[in-house]
Amino acid sequence: MSPHILSAAGVALVLDGSGPGLPRVLHFGARLGPVAGSALEPVLASLTPAPPLLPAQGDGWYGRPGLSGGRAGEHWPVRWSLDRLDVTATPGAGGTVTVAASDARAGLALESELAMDARGLVTMRHTVTNTAASPYRLEGLTCSLPVPPRAGELLDFTGRWAMEKAPQRRAFGFGVWSRESRRGRTGHDGTGLLVAGTGGFGFRSGEVWGVHAGWSGNHLHHAERLPEGPALLAAGELLEPGEVVLAQGESYRTPRVFFTWSGGGLDEASGRLHDHLRAEGPLPVRPVTLNNWEATYFDHGLDRLLELAERAAAAGIERFVLDDGWFRHRRDDRAGLGDWYVDEDVWPDGLHPLADRVRKLGMQFGLWFEPEMVNPDSDLAREHPDWILGHAERLPPPQRNQQVLDVARPQAYAYLLERLDTLVGEYALDYIKWDHNRDIAEPVHDGAPGVHAQTEAAYRLIDELRRRHPGLEIESCSSGGARVDYGILARTDRVWTSDSNDALDRQAIQRWTGLLVPPERLGCHVGAPKDHGSGRRLPLAFRAATALFGHMGVEWDLTSASEAELQELATWIALHKRLRPVLHAGRVVRADHPDPSALLHGVVTPEGSVFAFVQLTTRLAIGPDPLRLPGLDPAASYDVRVAGPLPEGAGLPGWTAAPVRLPGSVLGEIGLPAPTLRPASALVIEVERA
């Protein structure tokens, strides 16, 4: 059997399905041109054998197995026999592969799905079924693809609350580099994307391979290289012992796992992922959003909130979101969570006086919920202590004065759906900020580990709520960016990138979270002059320029702002609205700028583009490096101008005073003379095709 080739957007995947075992991916990387599979046979036959789609020792793979599990009192290694291989390939447009395999002696059947979309992104998932009479305890099932020997470096990400997506690089040597999350959610330290690449790869250079598990519960990503030669990237759900036990005829399906490749650095690989999220069609216009959390916290005095709404509307804000504190007994974070009824003492007329005024001011109205959590000091916990996710005889350790609600319990699920459905309907909510503020520890559901069931139940709850209210938008927040993955993004409209509104920290957080998430889905807010978390004071121009390159919002008590500040904020919001068609539809580019104290990034479309030159800290060298604008058409001419207010105290070159027209080749290779900026300053540059 000749190898099968899937190809699209400069990417090729070559699959050997000759059997008798599972197919092997012989190549995942650059397109091979107009070549038939049969012509590849002499070359591919001489290569080090690649591991199959689900590697095992019986296939000559002595690393981590793709499938692990067993039956009580019996151990029989699985060796798959290929039953069916269906390949549908359209040259230049990708294709699909469906594999059916079985091992009658082991009592298992397998179905694997592999697809390449028109943008060259590869997705994979496996389904294993128990065909024997005795139960099968599944311990792990991952999706993997091989990477070649030249992939000698690894990039992954770690982090903590208010400091997500910190990059870390290392050599891709022999053995396993594994990133595992047992937090019951994606986690602040969840890598999100695990990347292997050629030495020194950057945003615009080098060959890279990346993998992402689209799952919001416990998960793993790992890279492994054996001395015999093969190496691979893998990802999937991380299962606890006894979490998935399959009776005869029952199946388990992995989350969808995403693989991306680029021959020109991280930006191209990231672009394939962005295109996947955008493939279902463009989102509605992303309204500039004010969230009242850092403005008022638990102070829900109606007069104060109405004044805040008035000032928000005057600044051009388009959506007002009432955060934590509106429901029964919720005067601080120690009580009331789970009692999803409007607090009659604080809101004797319900939320209608606020919601009605917000809409008369021309804004949408949204509300904060944390459905998957409960305070022990709540009516819900007192009436239904058995709804807490944990063992009845010993509760898990508390975090943030709260426990986790067992959403997979039918009664708890029904309660949440009724409450959310009722409130969304009564107040005609446009938007929900859906929070998840703690890790899940010691979860016990029906006597077994409960993260898998909890995650699927949360997905069902969101899906059903959106089915009942098709126009409702939902933001995924998890104490900031602790639930950012393609499982949650398949059913929500944006993520809250971080609980840090410190614009200096946000520059890095947004830069690296943006590898997975396009700008229109990244919540990016203008915080207060003195950041509530770090205590750092930063100028409004820098805070606004940082929020400009995402789904822009405000998290600031505007009743304390001066008229000059409100006018400046209104100017930045108007600029965001004008540039929104580019910012929320274009290709994200990040220059490999030589100065470590500065960043240069942008969003590019064929007609117009927007860039930001950001000075983070004091520059060591005297003269700034030229601004080489990436991603432009070298054969086109462009008009270049400054967009938005000029930063204070800057040494500005002549082109910032009046527009200039230059070829894309000059802008990309020679660049613009750079301004000399103070630390924590940014210059926004608009580039329009002439």
Cα–Cα separations (whole angstroms), residue 280 to 464, 522, 581: 19, 17, 17
Q: Check if 499 is active-site.
A: yes
505 is in an annotated binding site: no
The arrangement of strands across the sheet holding 11-16 comes to 4-8, 11-16, 24-30
**In whole angstroms, how large is the CA radius of gyration of the chain?**
26
CA nearest to 402, candidates 422, 428, 424, 374: 374
> Is 499 within any annotated ligand binding site?
yes
Distance CA 556, CA 531 (A): 9
324 appears as a binding residue in the annotation = yes
For CA atoms 232, 234, 240, 243, the dihedral sign is negative
- CB–CB of 493/474 below 8 Å? yes
User: Which candidate, 601, 567, 598, places its Cα nearest to that of 680?
Assistant: 598
Largest pairwise CA distance in the chain: 80
Residue 275 is assigned to a ligand binding site: no
Establish whether 377 is a catalytic residue. Answer: no
DSSP character at residue 33: -
Cis bond upstream, residue 20 (ω within 30): yes
Give the Å distances, CA to CA, from 672 to 640, 652, 662, 682. Answer: 10, 11, 10, 15
Establish whether 433 is an annotated binding residue. yes
Q: What share of the chain is helix, strand, coil (3-state, %, to 5)?
A: 20, 35, 45
Q: Is residue 435 marked as binding?
A: yes
Q: Is 436 annotated among the ligand-binding residues? A: yes
Which pair of structure tokens corresponds to residue 605?
A: 């479309």
User: Does the annotation list 360 as a binding residue?
Assistant: no
The whole-angstrom separation of Cα 337 and Cα 334 is: 8
Contacts of 301 (CB under 8 A, 6+ apart): none
Q: Which of 347, 409, 351, 400 minimizes the C-alpha distance to 380?
A: 409
- The answer to whether the annotation marks 572 as part of a ligand binding site is no
* Local structure of 477: helix, strand or coil: coil
Nearest CA among 571, 459, 579, 478 for reference residue 519? 579
List the beta bridge partners of residue 150. Answer: none
Angle 190-192-198 from CA coordinates, rounded to 5°: 120
- Of 430, 499, 502, 531, which residue is the catalytic one? 499
> In a 3-state reduction of DSSP, which class is residue 189?
coil
Active-site option among 339, 435, 502, 505: 435
DSSP state letter for 201? -
3-state secondary structure of 417: helix
Annotated binding-site members for substrate: 161, 323-324, 400, 433-437, 477, 499
What residues are annotated to the active site?
435, 499
